[in-house]
């Protein structure tokens, strides 16, 4: 690994990309510590400690929401917009057709995603401010209309700034910008979590510490193993006669199918969906209509139930793993490309039989990948029930995201090194 890091540092473009990403992360963390006026930060901290689900929202904002900085919403609205367009591509034929246009179509989808991020940021910031204003902790020291409007504009501008910064990071091809900002926010919160563990530690919590260490090691090993695991489908290319009787082809190759093609995306999708009912319920808990307030309280009570929350979390991660794999993996296209290039899977007829075979293989692979990813996601919740520490619930998901982001970034850097080695020849 160190040899690859040294090789990457010796390549000017990669070195400049890494330095740019480091500078962008520093800027992100500086903006995360610029608080907005009219907010009692101590009351805000007590509010998030009392609500586990909103604690997950704080994690995805990189901890900025707990300080209510100018980038309080983080990249959450952009992630929501991305999810919306990926869902629309599955059910709206015109958007699916645009998505299939290649780079030009992807640029249009990205532009629409940016445009949708702005109203979503306004809506989410207004909802959050309404929740804080109605909270029993007296978080907002100023709640007049002008002040609320200024906060909404500031937070929305902060989200647009982070969206722009994340896309600049992605252009450097050393990792996904949005994922890296979530990664930086999680790492920034580790010292605080560690200090809380040390402050509250006593000898009776030795089991909790050991359990947390075991889950951390298990998550790292498991995520690395499953992320790197793949099923190789043998592919044979038929011999073809070209000009002057020259034979070409006849080469045996493999079609690699990864066990976890979706990466950490199902986790992000699942938590985003789980946050919606809790955020809406927090907004409606003080509604004038009694039945609406009762329904909101029932939703909050239900989502605080670890068994129900864990079951929903697992099922959503499982379902989104299949969903996202179907978005990025197209057996029909692969079968068509194989047929055009004279390739075939031994024992399988070209065309539709090949596509059906690939579909059945990826379905079986996904059964293990989705089950594993869902199990890793809810394992910290099980540990929380055994050890009684809320830090385990949030820390396990954070660790899963951190490991996945590191693997993704390392792979992008390795591909750049390999590409430049080929260019040297």
* Domain of residue 242, CATH code: 1.10.3370.10
Residue identified by tokens 């989502």 is 303
Residue 59 or residue 418, greater confidence = 418
- For residues 356 and 274, membership in a common domain is answered with yes
Provide the whole-model pTM.
Answer: 0.77
DSSP for 92-133? -HHHHHHHTTTHHHHHHHHHHHHHHHHHHHHHHHHHHHHHHH
Identify the DSSP state of 161: H
d(Cα 314, Cα 259) in Å, to the nearest integer?
18
Q: Of the residues 184, 199, 214, which one is the last residue of a structural domain?
A: 199
Q: Give the bridge partners for 254, in sequence order.
A: 234
pLDDT digits (tens, 9 = 90+) for 87-126: 788 778 888 788 777 778 888 888 999 999 999 999 888 8
- Asked which of 67-71, 127-131, 325-329, 385-389 is least confident by mean pLDDT, the reply is 385-389
In the chain, % helix, strand, coil (3-state, to 5) comes to 75, 5, 20
- For residues 250 and 139, membership in a common domain is answered with no
Q: Of the residues 151, 171, 199, which one is the last residue of a structural domain?
A: 199
d(Cα 322, Cα 260) in Å, to the nearest integer?
10
pLDDT digits (tens, 9 = 90+) for 368-384: 888 888 887 787 677 66
The candidate with the shortest Cα–Cα distance to 368, out of 402, 331, 325, 406, is 325
Mean pLDDT taken over the chain = 79
The candidate with the shortest Cα–Cα distance to 313, out of 377, 227, 230, is 377
- For residues 168 and 188, membership in a common domain is answered with yes
Tokens found for residue 422: 């080929």
Identify the DSSP state of 243: G
Q: Which domain holds residue 319?
A: 202-425
- For residues 379 and 293, membership in a common domain is answered with yes
Total domain count, the chain: 2
247: helix, strand or coil: strand
pLDDT digits (tens, 9 = 90+) for 292-313: 888 888 887 887 777 888 888 8
- For residues 108 and 216, membership in a common domain is answered with no
Q: Of the residues 173, 199, 225, which one is the last residue of a structural domain?
A: 199
């Amino acid at each position: 690994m160190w040899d690859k890091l040294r090789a990457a540092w010796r390549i000017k473009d990669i070195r400049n990309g890494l330095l740019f990403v480091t500078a962008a992360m520093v800027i992100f963390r500086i903006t995360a510590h610029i608080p907005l006026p009219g907010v009692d930060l101590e009351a805000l901290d007590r509010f998030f400690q009392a609500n586990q689900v909103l604690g997950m929202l704080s994690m995805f904002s990189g901890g900025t929401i707990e300080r209510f900085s100018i980038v309080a919403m983080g990249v959450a609205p952009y992630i929501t917009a991305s999810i919306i367009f990926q869902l629309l591509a599955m059910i709206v034929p015109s958007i699916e057709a645009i998505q299939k246009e290649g780079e030009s179509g992807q640029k249009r989808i990205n532009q629409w995603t940016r445009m949708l991020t702005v109203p979503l940021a306004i809506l989410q910031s207004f909802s959050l401010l309404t929740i804080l204003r109605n909270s029993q902790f007296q978080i907002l020291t100023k709640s007049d209309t002008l002040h609320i409007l200024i906060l909404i504009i500031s937070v929305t501008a902060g989200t647009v700034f982070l969206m722009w910064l994340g896309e600049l990071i992605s252009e450097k091809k050393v990792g996904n910008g949005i994922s890296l900002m979530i990664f930086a926010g999680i790492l920034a919160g580790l010292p605080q979590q560690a200090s809380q563990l040390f402050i509250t530690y006593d000898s009776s919590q030795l089991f909790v510490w050991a359990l947390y260490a075991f889950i951390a090691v298990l998550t790292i090993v498991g995520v690395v193993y499953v992320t790197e695991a793949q099923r190789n489908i043998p592919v044979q290319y038929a011999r073809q006669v070209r000009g002057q009787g020259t034979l070409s082809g006849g080469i045996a190759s493999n079609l690699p199918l990864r066990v976890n093609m979706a990466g950490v995306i199902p986790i992000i999708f699942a938590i985003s969906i789980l946050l919606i009912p809790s955020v809406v319920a927090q907004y409606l808990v003080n509604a004038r209509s009694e039945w609406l307030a009762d329904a909101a309280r029932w939703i909050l009570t239900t989502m605080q139930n670890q068994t129900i929350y864990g079951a929903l979390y697992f099922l959503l991660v499982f379902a989104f793993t299949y969903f996202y794999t179907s978005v990025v993996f197209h057996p029909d296209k692969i079968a068509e490309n194989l047929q055009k290039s004279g390739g075939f899977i031994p024992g399988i007829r070209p065309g539709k039989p090949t596509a059906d075979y690939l579909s059945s293989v990826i379905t079986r692979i996904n059964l293990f990948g989705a089950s594993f990813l869902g199990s890793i996601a809810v394992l910290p919740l099980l540990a929380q029930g055994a050890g009684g520490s809320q830090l385990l619930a949030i820390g396990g998901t954070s660790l899963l995201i951190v490991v996945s982001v590191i693997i993704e970034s390392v792979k992008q850097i390795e591909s750049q090194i390999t590409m430049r080695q080929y260019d040297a020849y």
